[in-house]
Amino acid sequence: MIFHHEIDEALGYAPKMDVHVPGAPKLSLDAIGRAAITDHPGSVLLYMAWDKDEPGMVSTFTNTSVTSDPQTTVVKAFDAYTAKPVGLLGTGPMLVMLRLHTDMYLGLPGKWFMGIMGFLFMIAIISGVVLYWPFTRRLNFAAIRKQKSRRVLWLDWHNLLGVVTIVWALVVGGTGVINAYAEVMLGIWQRNELAAMAAPYAGKPTPAQLASLDKVLGNAMKVAPGMDPAFIAFPGTPFTSTHHFAVFLRGDTPLTSRLVKPVLLDGETGEVSDTSELPTYLKAVLVSQPLHFGDYGGMPLKIIWALLTVFTIIVLGSGLYLWAVKRSKVRRGARLSAGAQAAIGSSS
Amino acid sequence: MSKVPQHRATWRRVFGAPIVIGVLSLAGLLSALLAGDPGRYFSWFGVGLPIAIAAWAYCRK
C-alpha cells in the first residue's frame, strides 16, 4: 500500500501521458465529458477528478446511473489536451490489495471488522508499554543480552523495537481506525451538513439539462481564489444533493491539499448556491489518510515507513514467540508440580 | 540518598530515551504535513530515528 503508485507504474497500470508543448490549450471540460460518455455509451458521469501530480489528466467516473453500486463504477483517465482516453484507473493487482486491506471484499461489515482490529492493535501497544517497565527497569536503554538464552535475546529485541516504534505504530493504528469508519462519517455528513446546504432546494427534481461543466468549474473557482479543483461531483451522487453540482477545491501543500472545500452549484444554471468548510470529523478523515499510508514525504519517508512496518511485524512475531515459550513453561511447571504431588500422595 | 530520587532516576533511565524518540517521531510525522520542504527533511530524521537506533543496537558489540 505504501508503494501503491510505484507498483502500479512498474506493472503498467498507470496511464501513460503524452507530452504536450508548454502553454498548449487544454480542451473544455464539456469536451472531456462528451468523450467519456462516447467511450461508455448509455452511462452517466458521476465525478471528474484531477490528480495533483498529473495536471494534464482528467479522470472520469461513469456508471449506468448515479445511484448504481460504486464497485461497478468505471474510472478512466483522459488527456486534458486531446480528450483521448489514456487508460483505466483503479484496476490491477494493487486494487485487489487495497480491497483486502480495507474491507476484505466484505463491504461495510469488513470495514467495521478492520476498524476493530486496528483498535485492538492499539490496545496491544499500550499493554506493551505497561509491561515495558517491569521487564526493563534493571537494564539500560537498548540493552541486548546476547550471552543469555534465545528467549532473553528475543525479549530484548521485542522491547527495543517495540518501544522505539510506539508513537509511529499508534499513529498508523489510530489513523487506520479513523479511515475504516470514513464511510460512516461521510454518511453522517450527508445526512446533516450536506442536507442542510441542500434544504432550500428540497423537492426539486434532478436537473433535466445539466449546466456547462466549464461554467460550473469557473464559478466555483471564483469562490476560493488560489485553490485548484480536486473533483466535481455530479447531481445525485453521494457527495452532493440531487439538484447540485459539488466542486471540491484544494490547496497546494500536503495539508491543505487534503482539506478540500466544497462549493455547491445549481445543476441547471451553474450558479453558486452555497459554500462551506468541511466539519472537523471529515477533516480528520482526510488528514488521517496520509498519516496511515506514509505517502506524503517523498520516497525516503516511504522507505522508512516500510522498514517500520517490518519492525512492527518483528514485534508481533517475537511477542507471539515469547507468549508461546512462557505458556509451555507454565504448563511444564504445572505438570511437574502435579507429578510431585502425586508422588508425595502415593508415598504417604 | 533517599529512596524516592533513586526511583525517579530509574524511571528516567527506562523511559527517558523512549519519550525523546516518541516526541521526535511525532514531530517528524507532523512536520512533513505542515512545514513544507524543511518539514519533509526533518520527517526523514524524526520518523527514521527508530531505524537508526535499531541499526546501532544491532551493530554494537
Residue B17 contacts A where some CB pair is shorter than 8 Å: yes
**Which residue segment(s) compose the domain that A321 sits in?**
103-180+299-340
Residues A320, A281 within the same domain: no
- pLDDT above 80 (res B14): yes
Residue A348, domain member (yes or no): no
**Same structural domain for residues A74 and A211?**
yes
Residue B48 has pLDDT above 80, yes or no: yes
Number of Cβ within a 10 Å radius of residue A230? 19
Q: Give the pLDDT band of residue A7 (cuts 50, 70, 90).
A: confident
In a shared domain, residues A225 and A307? no
Nearest partner of A175 among A256, A283, A312, judged by Cα: A283
In this prediction, residue B4 carries a pLDDT of: 60
The answer to whether position A347 is within a domain reads: no
A128 in a domain, yes or no? yes
Full DSSP string of A128-149: HHHHHHHHHTTS-TT---TTS-
Q: Is residue A346 part of a domain?
A: no
CA–CA dist A323, B24 (Å, integer):
31
Query: For chain A, first and last CA: distance in Å?
Result: 67
Are A274 and A306 in a shared domain?
no
User: Is A227:A233 a contact under the CB 8 Å cutoff?
Assistant: no
What gap in Å lies between CA A314 and CA A147, rounded to an integer?
A: 21
* Element spanning A165, H or E: none
CB neighbour list of residue A159: distance below 8 Å, 6 or more residues apart: A132, A135, A136
Cell of A322: 515469547
What span, in angstroms and rounded, lies between the C-alpha atoms of A213 and A208?
15
> Tens digits of per-residue pLDDT, A328-340?
888 888 777 777 7
Say if residue A73 is in the same domain as residue A153: no
Q: What would you measure as the largest C-alpha separation in chain A, in angstroms?
A: 102
Q: Is the dihedral of CA A39, A41, A44, A46 positive or negative?
A: negative
Q: Is residue A336 located within the same domain as residue A317? A: yes
pLDDT value at residue B1: 47
The mean predicted confidence, pLDDT, of chain A is 85
Number of structural domains in chain A: 2
The whole-angstrom distance between residue A338's C-alpha and the CA centroid of its chain comes to 54
Do residues A8 and A59 share a domain? yes
Residue A323 in domain: yes
Q: What angle do CA A303, A298, A301 make, to 5 degrees?
A: 35
Interface test with A, best of B7, B21, B26 (most A CBs within 10 A): B21
Contact A164 B53 (CB under 8 A): yes
One-letter amino acid at A268 equals E
Q: What is the pLDDT of residues A144-194, one digit of tens each?
A: 888 888 889 999 999 999 999 999 999 999 999 998 888 788 888 888 888
Assess whether A197 and A250 both reside in one domain.
yes
- Nearest CA of chain A to the CA of B22: how many Å? 5
Per the domain annotation, does A97 fall within a domain? no
Closest alpha carbon within chain A to B58: A144
Same domain, A303 and A263: no
Count Cβ–Cβ pairs < 8 Å, chain A vs chain B.
85
Residues A288 and A333 in one domain: no
- Report the gap between the CA of B54 and the closest CA in chain A (Å): 7
Burial readout A309-338 (b: 16 or more C-beta within 10 A, e: otherwise):
bebbebbeebbeebeeeeeeeeeeeeeeee
Q: For chain B, where are the E strands, in sequence order?
A: none
